[in-house]
Homo-oligomer: A and B are copies of this chain.
């Protein structure tokens, strides 16, 4: 089964990698990127990956989505800092049978696309991976890489399984899941403390866990996420927090994407990773004072973007 043509709206590191894998496997992929359009057009897209390097020499790349073909599968991989732009950028590539797959961090992104284009055509994907842009048109995929894909508006796995199968044929591990929302919250258990405190305090994972006070701060923040998820009807494995702390201790000192954005004075994905979870938690009646504090501190950090 084919989803051609495929639009990648936002060829940052993640969008470029997962789109490039599809193109390499023969799909008809079209990339939108403002910043890297010229270098990719001139020199192609170079992927250094621990599962195999490759270069796409001739890439369909655009700096304006109005110039792109209307697409069957639209993968939205814009950074979740400019939610106001999603709809405007996606609209030109939408056709009657388009499926929109939101490959972004945090909460709230699918809702924006569902409100504009209808929930029945929106799915989400969660990427468990380490991918960085190392230069113009050049990305490095250094670890992991799995995708979990699920419907936004239902528990059906039919379409998600078809999309997962497309990626599996392109050397990307991918699963369909029936409860996307639960996996989004599950990932937030790590993302909220380590992206949040990491950026607010400019401390990498090892530093955040180096003192008993810091480790307890991370744990208490994780507990707030678990409590909020429980109030919203989602339960996780009982040893999740211990497990996440232990696995994070095993990693080298790791700077979260939000900490890197802060250091570069780029916009941070505060809305999706902090504010929308906070809003859902408080609407469910859960007190989450640490997440509320994070929201405030992160918005106090100046950025250029």
Contacts and interface: CB of A to CB of B under 8 A. Distances in A.
Interface stretch (A32-40, A179-187, A197-205): A197-205
A196 to B, nearest CB: 12
Interface stretch (A150-158, A170-178, A277-285, A291-299): A291-299
Interface string A82-118: 0000000000000000000000000000000000000
A203 B293 contact: no
A202 B197 CA distance: 12
A220 to B, nearest CB: 9
A210 interface: yes
Interface in A181-227: 197, 200-203, 207-208, 210-211, 213-214, 217
A26 interface: no
Contacts of A211: 299-302
B200 A301 contact: no
A302 B201 contact: no
Nearest to A210: B302
A85 B299 CA distance: 40
A213 to B, nearest CB: 4
A300 B193 CA distance: 13
A198 to B, nearest CB: 12
A132 B201 CA distance: 25
B217 A297 contact: yes
Contact of A301 (B214, B293, B297, B302): B214
Contact of A217 (B213, B300, B302): B300
Interface in A1-23: none
Contacts of A302: 207, 210-211, 214
A123 to B, nearest CB: 34
Contacts of A202: 201-202
A302 B197 CA distance: 14
A74 to B, nearest CB: 34
A300 B213 contact: yes
Contacts of A210: 302
A302 B208 CA distance: 8
Contact of A214 (B197, B213, B293, B300): B300
A202 B302 CA distance: 12
A208 B300 contact: yes
A301 B296 CA distance: 19
16 contacts: A197-B300, A200-B201, A201-B297, A201-B301, A202-B202, A203-B300, A203-B301, A211-B300, A211-B301, A211-B302, A213-B299, A214-B300, A214-B302, A217-B296, A217-B300, A293-B293
Interface of A: 197, 200-203, 207-208, 210-211, 213-214, 217, 293, 296-297, 299-302
7 A-B pairs closest in CB distance:
A214-B300, A210-B302, A213-B299, A213-B300, A202-B202, A217-B300, A207-B302
